[in-house]
Amino acid sequence: MLKLAVIFLIVGLVLGGLGFGGIGGAFVGIAKILFFIAVALFVIFLVLGLIAGKTVKDAVD
């Protein structure tokens, strides 16, 4: 998902540099949304992994 965010960001910056500000801004906005979704998913999966790790550790001990 971060790969898509970077692609959208680069395309948006190129379009903005070429004078297509409206569509470039839309691409940059999409890149921002994808970035924050990726960060939120990372945090959720990190917490779930820590909880699952503690559960497995307690089961083994």
Domain span including residue 50: 2-60
Structurally, the chain folds into a number of domains equal to 1
Instruction: State residue 61's pLDDT score.
Output: 64
DSSP assignments along 6-51, one per residue: HHHHHHHHHHHHTT-HHHHHHHHHHHHHHHHHHHHHHHHHHHHHHH
Q: Is the pLDDT of residue 59 over 80?
A: no
pTM, whole model, 2 decimals? 0.79
The pLDDT of residue 53 is 81
Q: Give φ, ψ of 41 to 5 degrees.
A: -65, -40
Is the per-residue pLDDT at 17 higher than 70? yes
What is the average pLDDT score of the chain? Answer: 91
Q: What pLDDT, in 10s, does the model give residues 19-46?
A: 998 999 999 999 999 999 999 999 999 9
